Amino acid sequence: MNPETREKLAARLRYYDDLGLGSFYCDRQPGPAQMPAPSPEPKMPPRGVPQVVSVPRPAPSVRPSASTVLPVLEAPSLFESLDRVEGETVEQIREAMGECTRCKLHKGRTKIVFGAGNPKADLVFVGEGPGHDEDIQGLPFVGRAGQLLNQMIEAMGLHRDDVYICNIVMCRPPENRTPEKDEIATCSPFLLRQLAVIAPKVIVCLGNVAAQTMLGTKKSISHFRGQWFDFRGSRLLATYHPAYLLRNPNAKPEVWKDLQKVMSVLGLTPSPKKR
């Protein structure tokens, strides 16, 4: 093995060690005896039978069909390897992340934007990634979209400190572009560890990137917005990103319907101002 390849491999192994996955990747050298058997072709369900188990039926206003029910099992296998570490805290996860240089996004960031809020929250909002204001302050959702998210939270009868807010990636992509696959794969394990520690009752994905990453699908959010899914013991619902609502205010009533479903699950009463 040449020195350059050896160094790249060593860096990758150090990265897995940082995530607490060292033992998971031990003894994984490829070889005929260790190659997994090919997975059997999945059987198609009978016509009219939903393809997702443990996912509650959509509300009556949603008309389910084969095209709107997603197989959650498409999620990357790395997610499933990140079991909760007994006794781990959100603060320890942040310490383990350090001044992260694991992907190229670190080259243009000002600050890492880790999650913020109540580490024992029943409700977690997951966005795409930091914008300009977030990059400067080091806090998620503090720009115009964040101000709208605050209003949404208050309309639900909560305060920002009652919930936990985080993103798929924690460094700002250049010019606010969509995070790339390798950037998501590098950063999202730290998000998964946060969710495992918090163990919220409900996770709300804000926008395409968050929903597609969490559900492991390439389908547009319009195919499953407002539907419930099971995610590692939490109930997950996807809705439009506040930044989308700033550009398309006519979509606000649809998002309010989604939030009302969340409120129903959590037993919340809407703020009088919203009424």
What the block records as the tokens of 224 is 């499953």
CB 245 within 8 A of CB 221: no
> What's the pLDDT at 262?
98
The answer to whether residue 256 scores a pLDDT higher than 50 is: yes
pLDDT band, residue 86 (cuts 50/70/90) = confident
- This prediction's pTM: 0.72
- The count of C-alpha atoms lying within 13 angstroms of the C-alpha of 237, restricted to the half-sphere facing its C-beta, is 25
pLDDT band, residue 188 (cuts 50/70/90) = very high
| Percentage of residues in the chain having pLDDT higher than 90 | 66
- DSSP alpha helix (H) spans, the chain: 3-18, 77-81, 90-97, 132-137, 144-155, 181-198, 208-215, 242-247, 252-266
Domains of the chain: 3-20+70-266 (3.40.470.10)
Instruction: Write the pLDDT tens digit of every residue in 40-71.
Output: 555 555 554 444 434 444 444 333 333 334 44
- The count of C-alpha atoms lying within 13 angstroms of the C-alpha of 195, restricted to the half-sphere facing its C-beta, is 28
